Amino acid sequence: MRSHAPAEPAQTDQPGLSKVLKPRHLSMIAIAGVIGAGLFVGSGAAIQQAGPGILVAYAAAGLVVILVMRMLGEMAAANPETGSFSAYADKALGRWAGFSIGWLYAWFWIIVLGIEATAGAAIMHRWVPGIDQWVWALVLMVLLTLTNVASVKSFGEFEFWFASIKVAAIVGFLLFGVAAIAGLIPGVDAPGLTNLTGQGGFFPNGGAAVLAGILVVVFSFFGAEIATIAAGESTNPVNAVKKAVRSTVWRILVFYIGSIAIVVTLLPWNSTSVAKSPYVAVMELYGIPGAGVIMDVIVLTSVLSCLNSGLYTASRMLFSLSTRGDAPRSWGRISKRGVPVSAVLASTVVGFITVGLNYIAPDTVFLFLVNTSGAIALFVWLVIALSQLILRRRLGAQAKQLTLKMWFFPYLTWLAIGSIVALLVGMVILESTRESLLLSVLLAAVVVAIGVWRYRRNNRPQDEQEDQAQLVPAGK
């Protein structure tokens, strides 16, 4: 009988991957990972749920993300790898952990492909109703697949310009917003604190609504970790990781909290226009013509960005799993342009299937698949925190040589772990998220069981001295 023992992991530095991503690419990839369509559209539901107090929810969720990114940055700056937190989980928790979280993460982004392709197709169908929506979904998927297969540089360029459009839109929104609040825009009265405190108070629906709001907004921040995965294909991965991680704080403060603060200051939180599309509502307040069309363009850009980065991220995680013997070996093959084409196509095929299911059985099969990925973000963050806690402690005195460190270790690490566990408990308590959590736990249990079975004879982390050698920067 053929042995089921996994193959020995290959070298983790991925020498075949192209190293052509420039600092400007990595900076915009980091920004694009945080700014998604959920900010422009989904934030309306969150505001309706918690009122102006949603700012507290965004701040609390943002704090968790900042801590997680700092922990991931510490590990990635010391040892940049395409497998990122999956590879670090291998070292910290055991091969089963890296296997499990790697597959769960790839699954999350493959499901996202189906969601985003459908959202983008809906916008295109509104513009060109003569072409069926499924055709537009197919066109968008093919376009971004070709971009990812062509070269890493083409992916970086597309993502750079997609992100630039989003950043320009938010910067313009912020500038207009500050001017409107200051009473500098003709025809728009300065609101003062009327909308913040005059519509039932800052917490009109109570503190419980804010806690529930945290669960809604926390998933908007998922994607910031993409920069640490892409860093493995940059010309200077260590510096790229440092810049991406250090900029997480101001990106969250400015882009998310800043723009949401402008919405709830300028408009009543309980207005129907805010619920439908808060950013369109503010632009209409400015008197900008065609606000709906402008927002459609921005949301489509966000969708294409998410499709582009989602396909890239899923393929690189599958590639990393392949090099470690945890996925078919063919997915680890590199083209002459330095692209893992087989891994990209494998992600695309499943992505096409999910798009098809979204049209054939949107309320049954596709909804079930989406729910299985609902809590994966929290699982990933928890694994990152646990891995950093373990690997940092193993370093002992050598931790002084780290070029990027977690603040106030281990106290803030434990704070992050406690916060993530609390969010998972909150998903159990909140009826709207309970099913998603249970299905995600069920999927995770199956994947973990497979991982433990595969590595039942070799279930301990790699040798401690090897970990220290890999995590301490070379030359120190």
Residue 433, domain member (yes or no): yes
CA distance 112 to 358: 12
**What mean pLDDT is predicted for residues 228-245?**
80
Residue 467, domain member (yes or no): no
The tens digit of pLDDT for each residue in 168-205 reads 888 888 998 899 898 888 878 888 888 888 888 899 98
The tens digit of pLDDT for each residue in 259-284 reads 899 999 999 998 888 888 888 888 88
Residue 218, domain member (yes or no): yes
Task: State the pLDDT confidence band at 14, using cuts at 50, 70 and 90.
Answer: very low
Task: State the pLDDT confidence band at 10, using cuts at 50, 70 and 90.
Answer: very low
CA dist 144 to 216, 219, 277, 306, Å?
28, 24, 27, 10
**pLDDT at site 12:** 39
The tens digit of pLDDT for each residue in 409-441 reads 999 999 999 999 999 998 998 888 889 999 999
Give yes or no for residue 471 having a pLDDT over 60: no
CA dist 1 to 4, 5, 444, 450, 456, Å?
9, 12, 29, 19, 18
Q: Which two tokens stand for residue 7?
A: 């193959």
Show the domain range for 170.
Answer: 23-395+409-456
Q: Which two tokens stand for residue 359?
A: 């049209």
Q: Which two tokens stand for residue 254?
A: 């400015």
**What mean pLDDT is predicted for residues 436-454?**
94
Residue 302, domain member (yes or no): yes
**pLDDT at site 37:** 67
How does DSSP assign 182-215, residue by residue? TT-STT----TTHHHHSSS-SSTTHHHHHHHHHH
Give yes or no for residue 466 having a pLDDT over 70: no
Tell me the residue length of the chain.
Answer: 476
User: pTM to 2 decimals?
Assistant: 0.87
Give the rounded percent of residues in the chain with a pLDDT score beyond 70. 91
Give the gyration radius of the chain's Cα atoms: 22
How does DSSP assign 86-131, residue by residue? HHHHHHHT-HHHHHHHHHHHHHHHHHHHHHHHHHHHHHHHHH-TTS
Residue 166 near residue 301, CB atoms below 8 Å: yes
Q: Which two tokens stand for residue 119?
A: 């959202």
Helices (H), 5-94: 23-34, 37, 43-50, 54-78, 84-92
Residue 241, domain member (yes or no): yes
- Number of domains making up the chain: 1
Maximum average pLDDT range among 264-273, 395-404, 446-455, 466-475: 446-455
Residue 400, domain member (yes or no): no
**pLDDT at site 285:** 82
Give the rounded percent of residues in the chain with a pLDDT score beyond 90. 27
**For position 172, which CATH number holds?**
1.20.1740.10
Mean residue pLDDT of the chain comes to: 84
CA dist 64 to 67, 77, 168, 217, 384, Å?
5, 20, 26, 12, 12
**pLDDT at site 457:** 62
Task: State the pLDDT confidence band at 287, using cuts at 50, 70 and 90.
Answer: confident
Per the model's pLDDT, the better-predicted residue between 373 and 203 turns out to be 203
**Pick from 320, 351, 100: which is nearest to 331 by CA?**
320
Give yes or no for residue 463 having a pLDDT over 80: no
Residue 294, domain member (yes or no): yes
**What mean pLDDT is predicted for residues 61-80?**
89
Q: How many CB atoms lie within 10 A of CB 11?
A: 8
Per the model's pLDDT, the better-predicted residue between 396 and 53 turns out to be 53
Q: Which two tokens stand for residue 53?
A: 């107090």
**pLDDT at site 286:** 81
Per the model's pLDDT, the better-predicted residue between 436 and 80 turns out to be 436
Give yes or no for residue 469 having a pLDDT over 50: no
CA distance 323 to 208: 46
Q: Give 189's contacts (C-beta < 8 A, 6+ positions apart).
A: 183
Residue 326, domain member (yes or no): yes
Task: State the pLDDT confidence band at 475, using cuts at 50, 70 and 90.
Answer: very low
**What mean pLDDT is predicted for residues 14-19?**
63
> How open is the CA angle 318-382-222, to the nearest 5 degrees?
65
Give Cα 315 to chain centroid, integer Å: 15
**pLDDT at site 1:** 36
